Each structure stands twice: as C-alpha cells, then as structure tokens.
Amino acid sequence: MADPSVHNNAEQDTAADTLANLTNLQRNNAYLFSSGLPSAQQLKALKEEGVTHVVDLIPGNRVNEILATAQLNLEYFNVPVDWEAPTLANFLNYAAFMQRVDATDEKVLTHCKLNWRGASFTYLYRVAILGESEEKAKQDLMAIWHPNPTWHAFMSEVVAHYNALQGTSVSMSFAPAPLES
C-alpha cells in the first residue's frame, strides 16, 4: 500500500487558504512553526508572519513546493522522511540545517502532510538541541498527535544519541500510542 503521506505537489490553492485553515499549524516558540502541508497562499501568509525558511519532511517529487518557496524568496530544505522508517540520519540532517539557519533568531516552518512528522522533529529539536522543557514540548507534540511505536522508538533513539553526545539525561515522559487493532 502506498504511503498516504507522500504527495507529489503542494496542495491546490483555494479561497479559504489562510493560516487558520492550515492543518495542525502550531507556533512552538517565537521562531519555530510546524504544520501540515501548506498551499502556496499559506506559504505567502507564513512569509508575512516572518518565516524565512521552510523544512519539508515529505519524500517524493517536491517541485511545486520548491517553485512556490523560490517565488517567495523562502529558503527551502527537504529531508525526505519515510513514514514507516524514520532514521537518526534524518534527524541529524534536519538538526544541521536548523543550526545553520539559527532557529533561535530566524523563523522556520517544519512541515509534512499532517504535522505528525513535523511535530515530532520539532519536539526533538526543542528538547535535544535547544534544551527546552520536555514537559512543554510534550504538551505541544500531544496537541498534534501521540507517536505510535515506530515513531516513539525513533524519537527515543534520537534522545539517547544526544544524551550520549552532550552528557545530558533528557527522557521522554510518554509511552507510545497503543497499536490500533
């Protein structure tokens, strides 16, 4: 079965394309936003909010989004994250980009189709790199979705990697969502 989160093109614009209609839009702090797949019109509205960088976690042909961000002079970066098999390398690639653009001074949107990948990556960046409160980051994550066992294991691997690297003891304070029957 095909991954329903893989899309070849950005969503088509409609008259209702406002930030209020952007799937699972979340402002995590003054500089970090995450959301589902934005339309070109929603990208324009995000630029008006000060967003200058867009990180797309969707695999596949992303040409329409590349063109839409280029037309708006937004820096675009793609980390193609397989929904069924996210990797530590995916997150390290994401974190390197985020640190290069200084996500404590420049506004960045991280997105996927529904903001499940985006919320997870943003959670990890906040707790592993920025040292923000795990409890606060967890509240934001859970407002979007409760990671399944695959994603919980991936997130645990990332947290363990950074704990070993930085000599920290961050721990995730939630269990994976139960498998659906």
What is the pLDDT tens value at each position of the chain, 181 positions in all? 333 333 333 444 444 578 889 999 999 999 999 999 999 999 999 999 999 999 999 999 999 999 999 999 999 999 999 999 999 999 999 999 999 998 678 999 999 999 999 999 999 999 999 999 999 999 999 999 999 999 999 999 999 999 999 999 999 999 999 887 4
The one-letter amino acid at 75: E
**At CA 7, angle to CA 3 and CA 13, rounded to 5?**
145
Tell me if 124 sits within 8 A of 159, measured CB to CB.
Answer: yes
Q: What's the whole-model pTM score?
A: 0.89
Q: Report residue 35: phi and psi, to 5°.
A: -165, 175
Give Cα 98 distance to the centre of its chain.
11
Q: Which residues pair with 35 in a beta bridge?
A: 111
Query: Which residues have C-beta within 8 Å of that of residue 181, sequence separation ≥ 6?
Result: none
Out of 3.90.190.10, 3.40.50.620, 3.40.109.40, 3.90.1170.50, which CATH number does the structure's domain 19-166 have? 3.90.190.10
Domain boundaries, the chain: 19-166
